[in-house]
Every structure is written in C-alpha cells, then in structure tokens.
Amino acid sequence: MILLPQAALAGGVLGALGLGLLRRPPALAVRALTFLAPLAALLLLPMTPAGLLPPLIAVDIKCLGWQLVIYAAALPLALRSSADDVEAALFLGVVLGMGLLTAAGNLPMLFLALEFMSLPAYLLVARAGTGEGGRRLEAAVKYFFAGALAGGLFLLGMALYYSQTHLLGPSPRPVGLLAQGGVTLMAAAALFKIGAAPLHWWLPDVYEAAVPEVTGFLSTAMKAAAVLFLMRVVQLVPSANFAPLLPWLGAASSLFAAVMALRQESLQRLLAYSSMAHAGLLVLGVGAWARMGQSPVAAAAILFYLGAYAFMSNGTFGFLAATGLRTRAQLKGYARRQPGLALAFAALLFCLGGVPPTGGFVAKLLVLWQAVAAELPGPAVLAALSALISLGYYLGLVRDLYFEEPVMESPAPGGACARILVLVCAFGALALGAAPLLLKDLAGGFWR
C-alpha cells in the first residue's frame, strides 16, 4: 500500500514494453499510457499511507510531498506527441526511479534508486534528441559518463562512511574524518546530478541536444530529485565539513551561469545556463537549510521554488516545442506571428527573471530570505547579483520577441498540446505569485 504510486508507474513501464511486442503499437494507446501512469501515481498520493518496509523503504509526509512535485513536473513530457513505446518505457522508468528515490530508507536503496532513475534518462536523451544522430549520441555519452562518475563517487563515499560508522543511515553522533570525507564525496555526486558549477560540464550539451520536452523534464523533475538527493546526504551528518561550502558554491554557480547565458545564441543552450543558475539558488537554499538545523521553513522555501520552477521551465521549453524555434535569430519578431504564444512566453521569462509579483519573484525572495536568516549575507548578495544579471538575457529575449524585425523564416508551429501546456504553465507561474504564503505553508507541512 505504501508504494501505490510506484506500482502504478511500474505497471506503466510493463504496459509500454507489452505494447512494444506488437508489430505496430497503436500510437493513441502509447500516448494514453504515457500520460495516465504518472497521472495515476499523482492521484494515488492522497491514498498512500505512511509506513516502513525496513530497511529499504520509508514513506512519510515528506516523501509524499516530494513525489507530488516530481510527478506533477513530469506530466508535461507525457504529452509529447511523437513518443513511441520505447520512449514511453524509458520515461516511465525514470519517473519510477524518482519515486523510489523519495522513499529510499537507507544508502544502498538511495543508490539503486539513483541508478534506476539515471540509466533510462541517458537512453532517453540519445533516442529523443534533435539534430544529427552523432550529436545526440555525443550528448548522451557525456551524460552517461557524468552519471557514472557521480555513481562512483557515491559508492566510494558510502564505503568510507560505512567503514567508520557501520551505519547505512544518519549518524546520531559526530563522526571522524574518514566518514566526513565519505559524506563529502556523496554530496559531490549529488552536485553532479544537480548540474552546479564546477560539476556542470555535461549540462549545456545535454540540454541542447535533447528535444525541448525532454530538456524541460530534465530541468524540473530530475532537478527536484537531485535536490532531494543532496538533502538526504546532508541529513547523514548535520555537522558535515562540506556543509558551510554549499551556500558559497550555490551562489558562485548561479553567478557563473548568469554570465555565461549572456553570450548564448542557441535558445536551448541559453535556457540550460538559466537552469544552472536556478540550480545554484537551490543549492544556496539547501546550504541555508543545513545551517539552520534543517529548518522546516527553509525546506518549504526549497519545495516552493521547485514547484514554481516546474511551471516556468516546462513552459519555456514547451514554447520551443510548440514553435520549433531554436535560435534567437528565429525568435526575432515572433510576436507578430503568434501574439498569444509570445505573450505567454514573455510572462514565463518575467517569472524566470524574478520580476514581481510573479511566482519566480516569490520563490527567489523566499530562498534569499532564508539565506539572510541563516546569517549568510555574502552568498545572498552574490545570488542577488546573479538574479540582476539574469534580467539581461531574459529581457533580451523579450526584446527579440517584440521589438526586433524578423530576419528569417520561423519553423512551422507544433501541435495543440504543446500550446496549451505553455498557456497553463504561464498561468500557474503567475498564480503562484498571488498566493505565496498559503502555498509556502502547505509546502512546509510536507517537511514537518
């Protein structure tokens, strides 16, 4: 009973594999299964009781809260019209791995869930990519090697931690340098998955090579799972030696990404650095959470940020999927051809830039407020500076959209599902700015 959502996703994986046995799998059945399996997992959350399957599984209200964010963030990819049975099985396998990661009861289960989540993601990038096959495979190989390195670091760190503490979970007492080093290696693995600098080298190429819907999925649901992964590692040793470095690392990562995004002409690559900048703010939030003794309020700010970012990122990448635009040159003057979509995209850019009173502004404000409350003024100032710099490229895209003359033909627009997704995400991102306190309290309840 405590794994009802995961059972629904596992059934979806088996169903997709079963459809693949047919000579011509019906496209409608594949699309329905791809959408209904994560939707069923989402709807089953209120009926899922807290409980334990020791020592591997531990489900509580925090676990269910993270599953809510992850499954909801994954739903937009389920609307991808060109997905086949193989892509459906890979996608549902990734989401199943994320669900297992939220419920992992010890370090070995955390590692198994991490790999269960990661391996289908590498294949998904290779199969559902843009451009030439060689470029897709190159990005997938980079993603695989980054993931393999992260997995190796986690295994080595787990071995060092266990060798001194003889524990596969949090330590109730201070630990020695060997275990501290092990926890640091596991944290580095989590930062690889998040894509924070300087462990970000795989992220721009992977995000640019994948189709926009997959990139949106990687930047939202996968990022939420990776942030939870980092928080679970921090919980092992609350006084870990690396914890004071997290706020500075997050702020520096955000600043670096904001500067790099200013020079990008590829829209997906620009949004990849944008995703990295937001990841830096999330790492800053995790650092503040650790410094404040794992404060439920700080955890609520992180969860709220992830929820708001899921709307913003899925919406922006959905716009690229709906329009077929890939470069800033193609974006110029696009508002004259599709004013409704352009307005929704502009609203999403304002949200990403943190312009008040949008959900993006509230999310950034909550994280920066927690950093100040944790007595981290230096990282908070750097993060605020990165947010100001990011306005340069977000407002630059709005300028291209509305105030530049078209210089080249735009691709043919995509299907209706992608257009509806953009409008829904824009509305959601704006609406989060109207009711921040209510949703923040709701998110906080998941961590108490």
pLDDT of residue 312: 95
Give the Cα separation of 207 and 214 in Å (integer): 8
pLDDT of residue 204: 92
Distances (CA, A) of 171 to 165, 234, 444: 7, 11, 24
Give the Cα separation of 310 and 224 in Å (integer): 9
pLDDT of residue 440: 52
pLDDT of residue 174: 78
The residue ranges of every structural domain in the chain are 244-448
Residue type, 421: L
pLDDT of residue 433: 85
Burial 187-215 (b: 16+ CB within 10 A, else e): bbbbbbbbbbbebbebbbbbbbbbbbbbb
Tell me the CA end-to-end span of the chain in Å, nearest whole number: 22
Side-chain half-sphere of 2: how many Cα atoms within 13 Å? 18
pLDDT of residue 439: 54
Q: Please state, as a whole number, how many other Cβ atoms lie within 10 Å of the Cβ of residue 153.
A: 21
Q: What is the pLDDT of residues 340-359, one digit of tens each?
A: 999 999 999 999 999 988 99
Give the Cα separation of 163 and 235 in Å (integer): 18
Q: Please state, as a whole number, how many other Cβ atoms lie within 10 Å of the Cβ of residue 408.
A: 9
Give the Cα separation of 378 and 380 in Å (integer): 5
Give the Cα separation of 440 and 67 in Å (integer): 17
All residues at 6 or more sequence positions from 144 whose CB lies less than 8 Å from its CB, including other chains? 122
Beta carbons of 152 and 134 less than 8 angstroms apart: no
pLDDT of residue 20: 82
pLDDT tens series, the chain, 448 aa: 678 889 999 999 999 989 888 878 787 888 888 888 999 998 888 887 777 777 778 787 888 888 999 999 998 888 776 667 888 899 999 999 999 999 888 999 999 999 999 999 999 998 875 555 567 888 889 999 999 999 999 999 999 999 999 888 888 887 888 999 999 999 999 999 999 988 888 999 999 988 898 999 999 999 999 999 999 999 888 677 788 899 999 999 999 999 999 989 999 999 999 999 999 999 999 999 999 988 888 998 999 999 999 999 999 999 999 898 888 999 999 998 889 999 999 999 999 999 988 999 999 999 999 999 999 999 999 999 999 999 999 999 999 999 988 876 666 666 778 888 999 999 999 998 876 555 555 555 544 5
Can you read off the two tokens belonging to residue 344? 């929704």
Q: Decide: residue 367, CB within 10 A, 0-12 exposed, 13-18 middle, 19+ buried.
A: buried
For residues 377, 379, 382, 383, the Cα torsion angle rounded to the nearest 10 degrees is -110
3-state secondary structure of 293: coil
